[in-house]
């Protein structure tokens, strides 16, 4: 396996949970790309990286993915973590498989997508309501906001699944049985839990 790993996909599909698990149990350095993107938005507005630009959620996904993919490639090409085994795990929402393929494939990293394309938006909303806790940022959203988010999360998941299938990239559905999907991911990537 390569030194670095990107855990990509949609919000609330388990990316941060998996990334923290890989950091805690296997020694990866966890890098939250959401935090880096927030820094770009605040400090470098001229880059056009703007989650609140007034575009549709799908348009924002395309714009930010297209701008951040070459940035991630530059991070990987720096070689900063090449001497470490394992290196870093990048936890990233806004990275489409097509942009991964164009900019990052061939770098010192593996990728896995975590999506929720096998549910309807209403099912996605219900699942999230059932599992949200005060630690989750979505806990504080209104039901209307959560329903709206569920629509675009499913829409983006469908796009990511289609691109993953076309490009031969691994993806995992986590809406219905997250724990089983995480176990499949760990097995597929050769990880064995210490306390399993």
Supply the pLDDT for residue 104.
97
Dihedral of CA 106/91/94/34: which sign?
Answer: negative
What beta strand segments (E) does 56-193 contain? 88-92, 109-115, 171-173
Q: Global pTM?
A: 0.93
Beta bridge partners of 32: 91
Question: Do the Cβ atoms of 51 and 41 come closer than 8 Å?
Answer: yes
Cα–Cα distance between 167 and 23 in angstroms, integer? 27
Cα–Cα distance between 30 and 186 in angstroms, integer? 16
Query: Rounded mean pLDDT of 77-104?
Result: 92
CA 84 vs CA 3, 79, 81, 192: distances in Å: 7, 10, 5, 19
Name all domains of the chain by residue range, CATH numbers in brackets: 4-188 (3.40.50)
CB atoms within 10 A of CB 48: 13
Q: Which of 7-16, 17-26, 187-196 bottoms out in mean pLDDT, i.e. has the lowest?
A: 187-196
- Classify residue 83 as exposed, middle or buried by CB count within 10 Å of its CB (0-12, 13-18, 19+): exposed
The per-residue pLDDT for range 131-157, each reduced to its tens digit, is 788 877 777 888 899 999 999 999 999
Supply the pLDDT for residue 196.
46
């Amino acid at each position: 396996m390569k030194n670095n790993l990107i855990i990509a996909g949609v919000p609330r599909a388990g990316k941060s949970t998996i990334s923290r698990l890989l950091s805690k149990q296997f020694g990866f350095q966890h890098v939250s790309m959401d935090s880096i993107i927030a820094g770009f938005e605040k400090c470098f507005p001229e880059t056009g990286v703007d989650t609140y630009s007034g575009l549709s959620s799908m348009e924002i996904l395309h714009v930010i993915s297209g701008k951040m993919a070459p940035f991630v490639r530059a991070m990987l090409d720096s070689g900063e973590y090449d001497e470490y085994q394992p290196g870093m795990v990048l936890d990233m929402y806004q990275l489409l498989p097509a942009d991964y393929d164009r900019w990052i494939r061939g770098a010192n990293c593996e990728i896995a997508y975590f999506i929720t394309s096998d549910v309807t938006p209403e099912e996605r909303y219900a699942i999230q309501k059932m599992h949200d806790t005060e630690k989750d940022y979505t806990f504080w959203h209104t039901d209307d906001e959560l329903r709206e988010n569920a629509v675009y999360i499913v829409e983006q998941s469908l796009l990511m699944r289609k691109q993953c299938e076309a490009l031969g990239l691994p993806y995992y559905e986590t809406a219905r049985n997250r724990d089983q999907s995480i176990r499949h991911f760990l097995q597929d990537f050769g990880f064995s839990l210490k306390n399993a």
